Structure 1
C-alpha cells in the first residue's frame, strides 16, 4: 500500500465568505503569482477558481463539442503514431489518454446529465441523446441506467448500489476489510487479466444482450458495421491499438480508480429509513489536484529545484490524472449530489458560489481532499469502519451485478 499523507484534507465550513475562503491548505490561491496565461489551465487542473477570477460561462453544447474534439484528436494522434512508428510512437500515450478521456466524458458528463434530464433541459431530447451515445459506444442501455442512477442518488451506500456491488464483486473489497488489504486488491485487480476480462464481458453482455430490443438491434448493427469496415480495409492492427486497447483495459483502469474514490461508505439504513441531508452530505467529498507553489523567498538554487519538481508533477501527475481519471465535473461530485439539477456545466464556479452563499438549507460542510490517492484512502477508511454485510444469495444475472462501466455519477 502506498504511503498516503492525509494531511491535505480540509473541511470548508459553509459559513465561509468569498473574502475568507482561503485556508492554509487552499494551495490554489498560492498560484495567483503565476503568469495570467496559465490560470485557465490551473483552474481546470485543480478544479478550483482563484478568488475573483472571471471565467467564461460554459454551456452543455460547449462540453459536448469539447468531448467530441478530444475524442477525434486522441484517435488521430494514435493513428499517426501507429502509421509513422519510430519516435512518433510516443504520441500513443497522449492519444490513448485523450481517447479514454473523451469516452469517459461522454458517459460521466453527457449521458450522466442526460439521465438527470439536465443536459438540454428537454427530457425527451436528453433521453434520445443518451440512447444514441449508449448505443454507439456499447454502454449499458440508457433507460436501465437512468432508473438505477435515480436509486443511486437516494442512497449511494445501499447494499444494491451499482458502485457498492462493483467494489464487492469485482474488486473483492468488502465492509470491515483493512485499508491495506483494500489497496492490495485494487492494485492486483488493475493488472489482472481475469479482472479486465470479467469487466469487459459484463460491459458487452449489458450492451449487446440488453433487454431493450431497440438498443440490442442498434448496438449489434453498429458493431457489425465497424468490424466489417475494419476487415475490408485490413486495418485490424490500427483498430486494436487505437480503439480496442484504450477503450477496454485503459478505460476500465480509469473507471475503477474513479469508482474507488467516488463516495465514502456510510452505515446502512434500517428498515425503510431515508438518508437525511447531514448523512447524505457526508457521502461525497471534493477532490482537487495540484501542489502549493514554492516559496519565493528561498535561495535561488533551492527555488529553482523546487520549481522544477513542481512543473514536473504538474505535467506528469496532475494533468494526466485530471484528463484520464477525474474527468469532467468529477472533482465537484459533492456539489452534484447536493444539487443534481444544478449548474453542472460550470461546476467549478457553482460549487464555490454555493459555499460563499452559506450552502442554503445544508448544515453539513463541504469537505475536500487533495489528490486522488488521498480520496481513495479516505473512501477505503470509510469502508473498513463498516460492519461486514451478509449478502443473501441472488439469481440476478451476472451482467446486472457487474455492470458499472457506465454507472458513474
Structure 2
C-alpha cells in the first residue's frame, strides 16, 4: 500500500489497511463513495475565492465518524483549501447543519502538487444511500490545472466567497464535475468495499442525471437490501473514455490502478469492466490508432489481476457490453471483443465473472444491445440497461 500523505488523526493505522484481509464484519474506516480525478485545464473562474459544494451519493451509512479525501494529484501548484465542511444534503444545494472539517487539527490545508490528503475524522451519522455535501473554500491562488472528475452525472455547485457554513449557497452556479474531492470514508460496521473500475459505462454516461442510475449505484442498493451483504460499500472509479493500455481520458487502467484502487479505504473486491475504448479506437475503420491485440488486452488484465492479488484483493472480470453499430465499431474489433469476453468467461484467472454482455445484449445477436437497453448511441446502456447489469450480478461473489 502506497500512502502519499495522511491527515486523518482519527484513522487508526491498525484498522486502515486499504486493501486489508478482513472477511468478517468489523468497524473500520471504509470508503462509501469515490471518484477518479483527472487533469483539467483551469479556467479563469477556477482561480479562487470560490466555494465548491460537491454532492455525493454514499453507499454505506455512517454510524459514527466520517473523513474525506481531497486531491491535488493533477495540479502543478500547491492547492490551498482554507475551509471545509460536510453535511447531509436536503435538496439542491441546501444542507443540514454543516460540520467543520480539519486537517491535523487545522481548519486549512495546503495540498502539494501530485498529492492527496485525508481530513480528520468528525462525528456525522447518516443513513445508507444518503446525499452528502462536501463544501470547500478555495481562496484566490495560482492554478494551471484542476484535479476533478469531469463527468459527475450529478449537479454540484460553485458560489462566490467562503460559504462552506451556509445552509443554502447564495448566487450559486451549477457544476457537472466533482472537484478536488476523491473519496469519503465512514466508521461503520462493514464487510468492506467493492471498487467498480472502468470507463464511461461504469461512470454512468447516458443514464439519467441526478437519479443515481449507474450500475454501481444500483448494485449498492441490491447489496443493502440483502442481509448477508447489507454492510458492503460500493465505490465507482469509472472514467469516460478510459482505456486499459493508453492514456487518453485520464491515465490508463494500468497506470491508475494503484492510485484509484489501492489508496481507497478498506477495498476488498474490484469489478473490472474495461477495454471497449481500446478496441474501438484500435479498429476504427475511419481513424484507427494505438493498435492493441486481444493478446495484449489479456496480458494487461493479467497484470491487474496480479496487482490486485498482491494487495489481498479479489478481482472480478466483467464481459464487455456490445458496441455495434457505433462510430468506432468494426467487424475486426468485434472479433477482438468476442475473444476477450470468451477469455474472461472461461480463462479461470479472475476470482469471479459477471456477464454484462449477456445482461444487455439481444440473445439472438450478442454484438448489439437489446433495443430496450440501448441509450441510443449503441455503446452505452440506458437506465433499464444499467438495472439489468446490476440485477445480473451474483451477490454471492462478494460473500466469499
Q: Which category describes the TM-score, using the shorter chain as reference length?
A: under 0.3
Larger Rg: 1
**More helix by proportion, 1 or 2?**
1
Taking structure 1 as the reference length, what is the TM-score of the superposition?
A: 0.24
Structure with the larger RCO, 1 or 2 (CA within 8 Å, 6+ apart): 1
